[in-house]
Amino acid sequence: MDSVSAVVLAGGEGRRLRPLTHNRPKPLLPAATTPILEHVFDQLLEAGVSDITVVVGYGKHRVQSYFGPTYRGVPLTYVTQDQQLGSGHALLMAEPEIDGTTLVVNGDQLVESEIMCDVLDAHTDQAATLGLLSRPDTSEYGGVIVEDGAVTEIVENPEDDRDYRFNAGVYVFEPRIFEAIRSVTPRTGEQSLPAGIAGLLESDATVNGVVTDGLWVDATYPWDLLTVSFDLFESDLVEDDQCIASTATVHETAVVREPTVVAPDCEIGPGAIVGPYVCLGENVTVGSNAVVEHSVVDMDTRIGASATVVDCVTGVGVEIGNGTTIPGGPGDVRVEDRVFEDEQLGALLADHVHDQGGCTYVPGTIVGSDSSVSAGATVRGALPEGTEVRS
């Protein structure tokens, strides 16, 4: 295709990533030190996209103010999904902006441009083309049955043992997808995109699937942000010569172990050890003799002197006091009414958590935003926002 238009579905909250999504939508959470949605835009441009329609909803003003009207010279058109009523409903919101063949991707998953290009190249005159991966487990996402390149069935969260291909959430659609979405009765009040594709199949439209390869990662739960960021280290999406920003300050006695990304205006103090597998967002301070390993530390966070931070995810503006210990996972993590056992999470500290120092975090701890932890306290479990933890 000479000119490629894309729709990015970026209206969701990411409820299972709470409390990190309390103040911002999932597409703006960091992968390494860059918002997930920015990575998505970069890969779309690598695939030759010339204009992008972004479906926003939860936290829409933050998305729009962060990116503005263009991205690297490519125009961005925003449409609003006022209620999050499913991925199919989100695409319907973009219908007035679409004229012809369109690439559709999710704004909260990292998908390498190689996958997008393969789907675009495979699309000819069929109603839709789906990007598929060979993954052993499709139960958490979607499975697709393919025969001789033609999709015969698409199933959300399949539970049987048939030979499914993994639905990568990368699609090329012709305009008839909109009528197919509208023709399907919503389930649990939502119109899903896979249900719309099933509607195309029921109308005897041709839907093809292309099995491809390339980086595909998603953050479903808070600890997945560690996996997403570290997968980027293993890809070509983080350049070696960009790992320590030119405006970062690293003391001559500090040690930075690869792979590590240090964003602009960070400061790493004397005797500190940072890495391996660490992402420091903009304006992060690591105090003297602190140790930070296997962690994603978001912008404006302060890690105090002699603190130990392992397997940790922080939000924005967190203060980890002097001598605090986050020893790392595995631990049992509570998300809403479900407990996940032995996850590799030392602690998650949401936006503006203030730790006064000398604290200890039991593996798997989640602390909600705007919470305060008194000096010397031991912290465990899942704590709601605004909690005061006393020693």
Give the CATH number, domain containing residue 285.
Answer: 2.160.10.10
237 and 210 fall within a common domain: no
155 and 239 fall within a common domain: no
Q: 196, 218, 240 — which closes off a domain?
A: 218
229 and 212 fall within a common domain: no
* Per-residue pLDDT, 15: 83
- Look up residue 240 and give its amino acid: D
Query: Which helix (H) or strand (E) segment is 133 a member of?
Result: strand 128-133
Q: How many domains does the chain have?
A: 2
Closest by CA position to 168, among listed 198, 212, 132, 215: 132
186 and 125 fall within a common domain: yes
9 and 65 fall within a common domain: yes
153 and 275 fall within a common domain: no
pTM for this prediction: 0.89
214 and 229 fall within a common domain: no
* Per-residue pLDDT, 1: 54
- Domain extent, residue 247, equals 224-389
- Contact between residue 63 and residue 54 where contact means Cβ atoms under 8 Å apart: yes
23 and 81 fall within a common domain: yes
Q: 202, 218, 234 — which closes off a domain?
A: 218
Kindly list the strands in the beta sheet with 347-349, ordered across the sheet, starting from the edge strand earlier in the chain: 260-262, 278-280, 295-297, 312-314, 347-349, 365-367, 382-383
192 and 293 fall within a common domain: no
Task: Give me the average pLDDT of each 10-residue run along the chain (391 residues).
Answer: 85 87 90 90 94 93 94 94 88 91 93 93 90 82 84 82 86 92 82 88 88 88 87 68 84 94 96 94 97 96 97 96 95 87 94 96 96 96 93 81
First to last CA, the chain: 63
Q: 218, 238, 269 — which closes off a domain?
A: 218
